[in-house]
Amino acid sequence: MSNKLNDLKQTYQQPPVPKELDEMIARVERRTRPSRTKQSVLITAAAITLFIGGLNSNTSFADAMAKVPVLGQLTEIVTIDWRETKTQQSADIKAPQVTLPDKALEQQLNEKYIAEGQALYEKFKQETHGQEGVFAIDSRYDVKTDTDDLLSIGRIVTETRASAAESVQYDTIDKKRQLVLTLPSLFKDDGYITTISDYLKEEMRRQMKADEGKVYFVEGTPDVPKDEQFEHISVKQNFYITADHKLVLSFDEYSIAPGYMGIVEFKIPTSILKDDLVSSSYIR
């Protein structure tokens, strides 16, 4: 498999790209034999990473890459990678490409992920054009859940200047119904906002009491202005669902805590949600 991937990379680097790449991929597909060995799964699960320097963000290439077979996973995922390094400046931007039974949903998600990656790369070019000094963008993805029922995938972005700031966006997909879940869709009405927000405030205080190293921007925390205190979650609150059907909320760096706390996650007890849930299909 590694030799085939090296061939793929070399073929891409020799113009013309789209036609040559399509032909090479067709050969790989014909020669590929299913394998269930641990090594094969690890190679493919780690994603097929392409080192694309300079201005390369070829959408034909992106389309062709989606055809590469990935073995041994419940959901097939490959990676498109924009990479560039200058003096004190670098970009390493990875965009996932998923394969789903519903091709319309697959296209919708993959186009969104490519657009996110391209936007980050354009931002890097704009920020570094004619400029010196430290600046870096690192983007990667993390598959939190991949079961017969659910796929939860996050895209994590780290921007570094004098300091670093990290953010994440999650999508949770119902594989059987072929739809992207939203937080409001899990609940009967917006009462869940109060239920979860009240729990989070108490949990933040509990954690700070148990660990002096933890600080949250919540009422009662010294030196936190009122307009910076956490009040309630948003209907667009970032979340994912675990393999054991638990709800996890994610908060970007600096949003509810100092930067050294990084991205903060809270697993919400199902016991406090059960009266608000539409059903137990997703959260149990």
pLDDT in tens, 250-272: 999 999 999 999 999 999 999 99
Do 138 and 244 lie in one domain? The reply is no
Do 152 and 71 lie in one domain? The reply is yes
Domain count of the fold of the chain = 2
Asked if 12 and 61 count as a contact pair (C-beta separation under 8 A), the reply is: yes
Do 37 and 151 lie in one domain? The reply is yes
Q: Domain for residue 280, yes or no?
A: no
Q: pLDDT at residue 118 above 60?
A: yes
Do 82 and 170 lie in one domain? The reply is yes
Instruction: Choose the final residue of a domain: 148, 180, 212.
Output: 180
> Can you give the pTM of this predicted structure?
0.74
Do 104 and 169 lie in one domain? The reply is yes
For the stretch 132-168, pLDDT in tens is 889 999 999 999 999 999 999 999 999 999 889 999 9
CA 19 to chain centre: 30
More confident residue, 42 or 179: 179
Q: Domain for residue 108, yes or no?
A: yes
pLDDT score at 16:
42
pLDDT score at 186:
98
For the stretch 12-58, pLDDT in tens is 444 443 444 444 444 434 433 444 333 333 323 333 333 333 334 44
pLDDT score at 83:
87
Q: Domain for residue 52, yes or no?
A: yes
Token look-up 């890097």 returns: 124
Instruction: Choose the final residue of a domain: 127, 149, 180.
Output: 180
Do 110 and 32 lie in one domain? The reply is yes
Q: Domain for residue 252, yes or no?
A: yes
- Angle of helix 2-13 relative to helix 17-31, nearest 10 degrees? 170
Work out the average pLDDT over 219-235.
96
Q: Domain for residue 279, yes or no?
A: no
**CATH code, domain with 98:** 3.30.565.40
| Least confident segment among 55-69, 102-116, 238-252 | 55-69
For residue 211, count other CB atoms closer than 10 A to its CB: 9
Residue 173: which domain range?
2-180
**CATH code, domain with 212:** 3.90.640.20
Do 126 and 225 lie in one domain? The reply is no
Mean pLDDT for the chain? 80
List the one residue out of 55, 67, 51 whose CA is nearest residue 18.
67
Do 89 and 212 lie in one domain? The reply is no
Q: Domain for residue 176, yes or no?
A: yes
Q: Which residues pair with 167 in a beta bridge?
A: 157
Q: What percent of the chain has pLDDT over 70?
A: 74
Instruction: Choose the final residue of a domain: 123, 156, 180.
Output: 180
List the one residue out of 225, 234, 270 whose CA is nearest residue 252.
234
Do 144 and 191 lie in one domain? The reply is no
CA angle 216, 265, 228 (to 5 degrees): 30
Do 172 and 189 lie in one domain? The reply is no
